[in-house]
Amino acid sequence: MSISQLAREIKESPTLVFNEKARILKDRGEPVIHLGSGEPKSKTPLDAILHCTATLKTANIHYTATEGIPPLLKAICRYTEEHYDKTIMPENILVSSGGAKQAIFNLMMSIIDPQDEVIILAPYWVSYTEIVKMVHGIPVIVTPEDGRFEPRIEDIIKSVSSYTKAIMVNSPNNPSGCIYSDDLIGQLVEFCESKGIYLIMDDIYHQLYFGFHKPVSVYKFTDKSVDNSKIIVINGISKAYAMTGFRIGWAIANRDVTQAMRNVSAQNTSCPSVVLQSAAVGALNGIQSGVESLRLTLENNKNIMMRELRAFSGVKVTEPQGTFYCLPDFSAYNTSSAELSKYLLEKALVVTVPGGEFGFEGHLRLSYCGSVSEMIEGIDRIKWALDENSPNEIYIGERKMRRNWK
């Protein structure tokens, strides 16, 4: 079998691998608890459904313009004005039919030359490194000191070389739930503008913040128009609108980069489905109460998750400020997160995602976007499997399980 060198170097997506493992176990009737999930369970917003069914009913479903249908481009302009206080034009937008993930891919294809470096801040979303490799770039990882989730600007600057093309920022952050300080974002804008480096903001979770931790608009720190700027914003409907299955995302950039991305897109997926784009128009322009209610539900879930984890001896947890993930430190139990994750799936039937996959060994990513009862039971099972002080016996589904290992 002849597989390209590049394809051989691309890792399987660990989050999708864990989803698949959970599905297989569930299909077998095993009482598995999924704390690895990457999507809210809420229903699709009604306005999205109404828009998309109205489009379907026209029975006029054909190719669209590569960049996206005009009503969606208009809705994204309005959304950007509302959430970022920034005026953009349709010419600054590329809609993608493979979610925010594909928007990032099209962007990287458009700005990275072989050997260019992209700075990625750990802990990081698993796909960044692989996407950069897929376009023959080099991921350069910056890891914060002392187990903190926010790197220092000095450490980021130290990693910059003459090959640095872009710095990738994801705040609120998957997997830590950390929202980077306004100071850091401001310093990054200033630094990138002075060096002519792209600053890519993956803002897919920007509406999912807790309390007063609203993420700052990156544009607040620049006077430049989008057309004169190297700031790029990635977003989509997957997380805040719980519309992961619609696969609509977008990138906002200056016209030159946008045109390059449109060319790239035109030669691969092109023409995002008009049905799915109509759903996105409905979501963005429709009643927004679903987003607020999801945000509040997640905040409540996060509080419960924190309560459970704080009562878990040996586990260190930093409270998330947004998203639906946390990244507690389990290194007191096992320094290899992959081994620990495997062990918890075998012994306790709980799916977690190893922190090593996000560049943070010794940690596990736990999601709190599922039901509260499952979350509590999941943590109880993990405690039972790891903590010698917890009761020796537990029910997993109908089965009474006895801990017979150290």
Ligand X SMILES: Cc1ncc(COP(=O)(O)O)c(C=O)c1O
Asked if 125 interacts with ligand X (CB under 6 A), we say: yes
CB of 202 to ligand X, least distance (A): 5
Asked if 238 interacts with ligand X (CB under 6 A), we say: yes
Asked if 244 interacts with ligand X (CB under 6 A), we say: yes
Asked if 99 interacts with ligand X (CB under 6 A), we say: yes
DSSP H or E stretch at residue 200? strand 198-202
Asked if 202 interacts with ligand X (CB under 6 A), we say: yes
Applying CB under 6 A, what is the total number of residues that bind ligand X? 13
CB of 238 to ligand X, least distance (A): 3
CB of 107 to ligand X, least distance (A): 12
Distance CA 279, CA 1 (A): 42
Asked if 165 interacts with ligand X (CB under 6 A), we say: no
Amino acid at 10: I
Which part of the chain contacts ligand X (CB under 6 A), choosing from 141-149, 184-192, 236-244, 301-309? 236-244
Nearest partner of 121 among 57, 47, 34, 187, judged by Cα: 187
Which part of the chain contacts ligand X (CB under 6 A), choosing from 97-105, 178-186, 221-229, 364-372? 97-105
Could you tell me how many residues make up the chain?
A: 406
CB of 98 to ligand X, least distance (A): 6
Q: Exactly one of 121, 142, 204, 382 binds ligand X (CB under 6 A); which one?
A: 204
- Cβ closer to ligand X: 193 or 236? 236
95 touches 73 (CB < 8 A): yes
Asked if 203 interacts with ligand X (CB under 6 A), we say: no
Asked if 174 interacts with ligand X (CB under 6 A), we say: yes
Quick check: helix, strand or coil at residue 316?
Answer: strand
- Cβ closer to ligand X: 86 or 101? 101
C-alpha dihedral sign at 378, 381, 385, 386: positive
221 touches 215 (CB < 8 A): no
Asked if 355 interacts with ligand X (CB under 6 A), we say: no
Q: How, if at all, do strands 138-142 and 33-34 pair?
A: unpaired
What is the Cα 166 distance to its own chain's centre?
18
347 touches 385 (CB < 8 A): yes
Which part of the chain contacts ligand X (CB under 6 A), choosing from 98-106, 189-197, 253-261, 326-334? 98-106
CB of 183 to ligand X, least distance (A): 22
Asked if 302 interacts with ligand X (CB under 6 A), we say: no
In three-state form (DSSP H/G/I as H, E/B as E, the rest C), the secondary structure along 318-367 is CCCCECCEECCECCCCCCCHHHHHHHHHHHHCEECEEHHHHCCCCEEEEE
Q: Around Cβ 186, how many Cβ atoms within 10 Å?
A: 16
Asked if 123 interacts with ligand X (CB under 6 A), we say: no
Contact residues for ligand X, defined by CB under 6 A: 38, 99-101, 125, 170, 174, 202, 204, 236, 238, 244, 249
